[in-house]
Amino acid sequence: GQQLNQSPQSMFIQEGEDVSMNCTSSSIFNTWLWYKQDPGEGPVLLIALYKAGELTSNGRLTAQFGITRKDSFLNISASIPSDVGIYFCAGRSPGGSNYKLTFGKGTLLTVNP
Amino acid sequence: DADVTQTPRNRITKTGKRIMLECSQTKGHDRMYWYRQDPGLGLRLIYYSFDVKDINKGEISDGYSVSRQAQAKFSLSLESAIPNQTALYFCATSGQGNTEAFFGQGTRLTVV
């Protein structure tokens, strides 16, 4: 099956710092998604990317679909305490009716006030 | 009200018991999914369905079964629960031609 590596596994930062996390795949994807999961809740979609090279922002969040189609990154600028949670990348491979998503193992973000 | 609703939110059950987790959605989506989340392992797909009565195995379907009798409902069953099925379970939906998945709030299942 596909391998999707997400790093780092966890991050401890001070409020106001910028954050960067990324995912790499063993094969190409035609869609990259970034989700955030708050404690006790389900993952919520932050950003969706559909084209190689695409750079998309959502407030303080910016994500890019890598040119090789095998990687994506998520940046959070000027972090705040409510950014705490687990961030997941997810990708969909091209071809046929494969609408299944492959998820990374998550990045646990802790923000110290 | 949540678009994707899971019941129960928490459940403790004994080894060997049959248990069913329910999921209902008001998004009108065709596709529904069941995922399992374990610490450090991310989300793994158990089963998915693209339409009523359509059932497809995911990467970890052993020990689970599902039922899709209506577009809005997708239930997950553990026929004989075992302790290593203790996990957080999520239902998700997506629309036709659209790959974003929308998640329920999860069911925390503990098998003792």
Q: Per-residue confidence of chain B (112 residues) as pLDDT tens digits?
A: 669 999 999 999 999 999 999 999 999 999 999 999 998 888 999 999 999 989 999 989 999 999 999 999 999 999 999 999 999 999 999 987 667 889 999 999 999 9
The single-letter code of the amino acid at B96 is: Q
Task: With a cut of 90, say whether residue A95 has pLDDT above it.
Answer: no
Residue A98: the pLDDT is 60
Q: What percent of chain A has pLDDT over 90?
A: 79
Alpha carbons B13 and B95: distance in angstroms, whole number = 33
Long-range contacts of the stretch A95-99 (C-beta < 8 A, 24+): A97/B50, A99/B31, A99/B50, A99/B94, A99/B99
CA distance A6 to A90: 10
CB contact under 8 A, B4 and A42: yes
Task: Look at B99 and A6 and tell me if their CB atoms are within 8 Å.
Answer: no
pLDDT at residue number B1: 60
Beta bridge partners, A61, equal A58, A76
Q: What are phi and psi of B84, to 5 degrees?
A: -80, 5
Q: Does A96 touch chain B (CB under 8 A)?
A: no
CB pairs under 8 A between A and B: 54
pLDDT band at A1 (very low <50, low <70, confident <90, very high): low
What is the per-residue pLDDT across A48-81, written as a single tens digit (0 to 9) for each? 999 999 999 999 999 999 999 999 999 999 999 9
The minimal CB distance from B41 to the residues A31, A35, A105 is found for A105
Phi, psi of B76, deg, nearest 5: -115, 130
Confidence (pLDDT) at B88: 96
